[in-house]
Amino acid sequence: MTGTARPSTAHRVGVVAVAGTALSGLLAAGLLAPSATAGPPEHTPTPAPHSPVTALQQELDALVRDDGYPGALAAVSDVHGRVRDLTAGVGDLATGAPVPRDGQVRIASNTKTFTATVVLQLVGEGRVGLDEPVETYLPGLVRGEGIDGRQITVRQLLQHTSGIPDYDELLVPEWLASGLTRFYEPHDALALGLSRPALFPPGTDFEYSNTNYTLAGLVVQQVTGRPVGEEITRRIIEPLGLRATYWPGEGEQEIRGRHPHTYFPLDRENPLPVDPGTPLTDVTDQDVSMGWAAGALVSSPRDLLRFDQALVDGELLTPDLLAEMQDTVPADGTVLRGQEEYGLGLQTYTLSCGGVAWGHGGDIPGAHTRNAVTSDGRGAVVVVTGEPTTEEQAVRLEETIDTAICG
């Protein structure tokens, strides 16, 4: 691990703060308003489990029972390569249909790991330099107050040390007001990110920003001459046989395969701050173009688990490039509890049973994903189909990953 960036001084609530392409920072920034009703029921302790699978099922049941998520689904693997699919709650509040095992969901910021992997493959091919200025690939594009693409490297984009602000704060309110149906070109989001002053000089700090990955996607397109979604598909999705994973087409709002419905307390007239007391709206159908290379992908728990394991096992990157990806900087307030380091689109997760797991996580209205894997084959992906509205709920969701891996 490297100490090239000093720890961020802006501590944020873990889950909601980093993972989401749509909701990053809303809870921590006070944009999720406190409910006018009493708080959630006290979290019921679960019996001591006999295996990680049993423990995780108990945790999923507790998330639905105590924290009010409509449904939850997961995939968990052990050191022998066995993968189990788990569900809890209902997949459709209107019909009471069960949550489909290994159903498709929007994986939001987990897309960043796919994008970073493609960039690193291009590095391996000699077509991109990690420490080359962004200006080399996108001449004249990255300019703003204190922002200059001649001073920002590709590595700094992937590691969120560029100092470029996130576009979410400006874009999310209008996206929510549109009912999550507005279409955005990548340059729409980029313009919003570049309209604000730099957060710090490049390479001196860490601040999670979706704008970084919009630029990374544009670098991929400039170098390859093909859409970033096409590159992710041909370089990762197809070789790994990820049949439930895809990049949505332009204007595509429905999920193609079996999936749970997802829900969000949406008030289109007053979208922010989000009030947990607002009745839930079915937000399964969304236009996720606002996430693009930072958050557009649809996948399933098994597919995402397969991708994470393939990445950490070296199936997608050479050892030297994987080492670059896992060379981390301090990243205060990241996605998972105990996760304090960020590499190139990949984060560390400190396990209670010892050692470190690698993953990312992703938040989008109605779907919150937590995922991490170890080098010995253990791993898990957990998805809930509603919103964590308190820090305590966010922490409990994070802790399911430790439960799944450690028991």
Query: 355 and 102 in contact (C-beta within 8 Å)?
Result: no
Amino acid at 213: Y
Looking at 8, 24, 77, 109, which residue is catalytic?
Answer: 109
Q: Is 300 a catalytic residue?
A: no
Query: 317 and 124 in contact (C-beta within 8 Å)?
Result: yes
Crossing angle (nearest 10°) for helices 391-406 and 52-67: 160
Query: 12 and 333 in contact (C-beta within 8 Å)?
Result: yes
Written as six digits, the tokens of 25 are 């920072």
Dihedral Cα 315, 242, 209, 268, nearest 10 deg:
-170
Amino acid at 171: L
Query: 339 and 13 in contact (C-beta within 8 Å)?
Result: no
Query: Closest by alpha carbon to 102, among 72, 78, 81?
Result: 72
Amino acid at 35: S
105 — phi, psi (to 5°)?
-140, 165
Which of the 8 DSSP states describes residue 136?
G
Written as six digits, the tokens of 302 are 């098994």
Q: In degrees, to the nearest 5, what angle opens at C-alpha 169 toward C-alphas 164 and 172?
A: 125
The residue to which tokens 């994973």 are assigned: 245
Q: What Rg, from alpha-carbon coordinates, does the chain have?
A: 19
Residues 6+ apart with CB under 8 A from 259: 91, 100, 103, 104, 105, 284
Which residues form the catalytic set? 109
